[in-house]
């Protein structure tokens, strides 16, 4: 087994991966401003597949760049500073944030009034929402936080966006990939404020989606059009399957008042193109831009407080999440293929300890 490893993915074929050895951490020479992080654990979800699908379009490959056609899909997890040249971020500091799938990372960090920030020059033009790392003492909910916080953040921002727009006048919301954790977070938030939510899912995941209790109705993809949807509706696409998007648009027509593209949990060529679909044109919801706007509107501290309060309530209210831990690069390679293929059980939360 490779003890110091870097997990690379072919940017042109996400199913092609390679594990490469990294230099032993103690042999790494740090420049001024650099720290060496030991990556303790990270979550692997369908959201990370979305990073790969949209890697070129939205810049996700640029956070932890690699040579040639190879790339590093970012993940959310915990790391501890092993060595540091930054006086205000000493060895032993434990952080939660955006990381590569690797056993360790050399990067440039600074401490700002609001926390720790990655200031690597190659990230200067990338969305600032991904640059912050939060100091985090070990806790019993670490796995749940790594698995759910990044996804719930997107759900929170979506719900806030829809609420600000009075749900576009809709009486129902339709969520594809209803078993995905981001969709579950949004369904929980919408249902909490009395919105009727219809979940679209595969036949394999129907039982799970029904049992979580967040959806007023659950339908399989192939049976969506069998029963009319009453009134006006908003469609939120987490699947990235053009066929599903077309089916919803064709079924609802002008009664579809908004169509949002959020992710791509299904392996297709990405979201449906402009085409001539009935109803509104699908528009991409870019969470970092909404986060930037709300941080400006409310202030960073108030925004984080709102998100944390809602997240804690969501974690307390769900009993469906089963955490499974995978240790080492070989186990990472195996579970990555499972998540990529979309065959992971929805109730499972996959945590990876890379070392």
User: How many Å apart are CA 211 and CA 195, to the nearest integer?
Assistant: 18
Q: Give pLDDT, residue 263.
A: 66
pLDDT above 90: residue 88: yes
> What is the pLDDT of the chain when averaged over all its residues?
93
Tell me the two tokens of residue 318.
Answer: 């769900």
pLDDT above 60: residue 59: yes
- Tokens 């078993």 found at: 179
pLDDT above 80: residue 279: yes
Residues 181-192 have a mean pLDDT of 97
pLDDT above 60: residue 28: yes
Question: What does DSSP assign to residue 180?
Answer: S
Helix (H) or strand (E) run with residue 220 in it: strand 217-220
User: How many Å apart are CA 330 and CA 328, to the nearest integer?
Assistant: 6
Q: Give pLDDT, residue 268.
A: 44
> How do strand 34-44 and strand 348-353 relate by DSSP bridges?
antiparallel
Gyration radius of the chain's alpha carbons: 20
Q: Which residues contact 210 (CB under 8 A, 6 or more apart)?
A: 218
Q: Give pLDDT, residue 35.
A: 98
Secondary-structure breakdown of the chain: helix, strand, coil percentages, each rounded to the nearest 5: 40, 30, 35
Residues 8-17 have a mean pLDDT of 98
Helix (H) or strand (E) run with residue 82 in it: strand 75-84
- Give how far Cα 64 sits from Cα of 23, 74, 98, 122, 207, Å: 17, 7, 10, 9, 38
pLDDT above 90: residue 115: no
Question: What are the tens digits of pLDDT across the range 213-244?
Answer: 999 999 999 999 889 999 999 999 998 889 99
Q: Give pLDDT, residue 129.
A: 83
Lowest mean pLDDT segment, chosen from 130-139, 261-270, 305-314: 261-270
pLDDT above 90: residue 294: yes
Ordered by where they begin, the domains of the chain are 5-138+321-353 (3.90.180.10), 150-288 (3.40.50.720)
Q: Give pLDDT, residue 167.
A: 98
Residues 333-353 have a mean pLDDT of 94
Residues 176-187 have a mean pLDDT of 95
Tell me the two tokens of residue 110.
Answer: 């600074």
pLDDT above 90: residue 309: yes
pLDDT above 80: residue 1: no
Tell me the two tokens of residue 135.
Answer: 């100091």
Q: Give pLDDT, residue 140.
A: 92
pLDDT above 60: residue 351: yes
User: How many Å apart are CA 99 and CA 130, to the nearest integer?
Assistant: 10
> How do strand 217-220 and strand 196-201 relate by DSSP bridges?
parallel
Question: What does DSSP assign to residue 304?
Answer: H
């Amino acid at each position: 087994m490779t003890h110091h490893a870097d997990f690379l993915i072919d940017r042109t074929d996400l199913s092609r991966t390679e594990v490469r050895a990294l230099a032993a951490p103690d042999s790494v020479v740090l420049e001024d401003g650099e720290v060496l992080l030991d990556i303790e654990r990270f979550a692997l979800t369908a959201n990370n597949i979305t990073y790969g699908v949209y890697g070129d379009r939205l810049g996700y490959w640029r956070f932890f760049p690699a040579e040639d056609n190879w790339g590093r899909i970012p993940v959310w997890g915990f790391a501890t500073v092993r060595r540091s040249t930054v006086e205000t971020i000493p060895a032993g500091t434990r952080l939660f944030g955006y990381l590569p799938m690797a056993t360790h990372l050399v990067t440039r960090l600074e401490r700002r009034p609001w926390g720790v920030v990655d200031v690597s020059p190659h990230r200067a033009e990338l969305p600032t929402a991904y640059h912050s790392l939060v100091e985090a003492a070990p806790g019993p909910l670490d796995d749940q936080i790594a698995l759910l916080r990044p996804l719930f953040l997107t759900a929170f921002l979506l719900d806030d966006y829809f609420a600000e727009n009075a749900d576009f006048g809709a009486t129902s919301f339709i969520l594809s990939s209803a078993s995905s954790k981001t969709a579950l977070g949004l369904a929980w938030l919408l249902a909490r404020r009395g919105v009727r939510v219809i979940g679209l899912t595969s036949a394999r995941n129907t039982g799970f989606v029904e049992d979580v209790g967040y959806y007023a109705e659950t339908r399989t993809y192939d049976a969506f059009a069998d029963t009319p949807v009453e009134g006006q509706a908003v469609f939120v696409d987490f699947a990235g399957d053009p066929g599903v998007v077309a089916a919803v648009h064709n079924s609802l027509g002008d009664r579809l008042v908004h169509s949002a593209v959020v992710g791509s949990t299904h392996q297709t060529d990405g979201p449906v193109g402009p085409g001539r679909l009935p109803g509104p044109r699908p528009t991409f919801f870019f969470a970092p831009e909404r986060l930037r706007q709300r941080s400006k509107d409310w202030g960073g501290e108030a925004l984080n407080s709102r998100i944390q309060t809602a997240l804690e309530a969501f974690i307390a209210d769900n009993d469906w999440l089963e955490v499974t831990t995978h240790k080492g690069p070989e186990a990472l390679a195996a579970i990555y293929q499972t998540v990529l293929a979309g065959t992971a059980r929805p109730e499972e939360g996959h945590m990876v300890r890379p070392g």
